Amino acid sequence: MLNFAQMFALFILRHADADTKAPTDAERFLSEKGMDQARKIGRFLRDQGIQFDQILTSPLVRARQTGDLVAGELGRSDLVAYVDFLAIGMNPATVLKRLSQYAPVPKESGSTKVTPDKLSDKLASRPAHSFLLVGHEPDLGEFIAYLIGSGQDTIHLKKAGLAKVTLPKWKAGVGTLEFLLIEKYL
């Protein structure tokens, strides 16, 4: 039986609507519609009482702005970090490995050395951690599919779409897709 107090919660958010004109794709800003979408997602999360230990976003402008606006609605701008591993073209296995490094390993009596093979077991033996990840399609859909053990092209997030995946440990294929929401229905 799974102990839900020891689950990891990953909230996965595609960046909100962005302008199409910019010197480069990485420099695209959110449109007015996108700013409204991001704030709406933030209010939804706040109203549902959802809290995060960390908010990690792609370094691209539209994702950073989305994460910053959501964090602002939550009153938790201090939780935001821009990480390269969520940029366009991200590798699901790399993201999972890098995410596990953001969750603190519990201290034990005796040796504090944790071998890579034992890391996911140690992380799964402590209270839950919750992360908001902000990034891009098709990468986020592929990441969700990787987490739940589905086919590569089976999950698609619309702009400002939000999904929740729970994991009993940092391992691919063992996750549960709890929900997939479209911003316009919030």
- What is the domain partition of the chain in residue ranges? 4-102+118-185
Helix (H, G, I), strand (E, B) or coil at 177: strand
Q: 151 pLDDT band (50/70/90 cuts)?
A: confident
Amino acid 128: pLDDT:
58
Instruction: Give the residue, 29 or 111, on which the prediction is more confident.
Output: 29
Amino acid 110: pLDDT:
41
* Distance, CA of 110 to CA of 127 (rounded, Å): 21
Amino acid 104: pLDDT:
57
Residue type, 136: H
Contact 122/166 with Cβ under 8 angstroms? no
pLDDT digits (tens, 9 = 90+) for 72-122: 999 999 999 999 999 999 999 999 999 988 875 544 434 344 444 443 443
Q: What single-letter DSSP state applies at residue 159?
A: T
CATH node for 4-102+118-185:
3.40.50.1240
Residue type, 153: D
Largest Cα–Cα distance in the chain? Answer: 57
Helix (H, G, I), strand (E, B) or coil at 163: strand
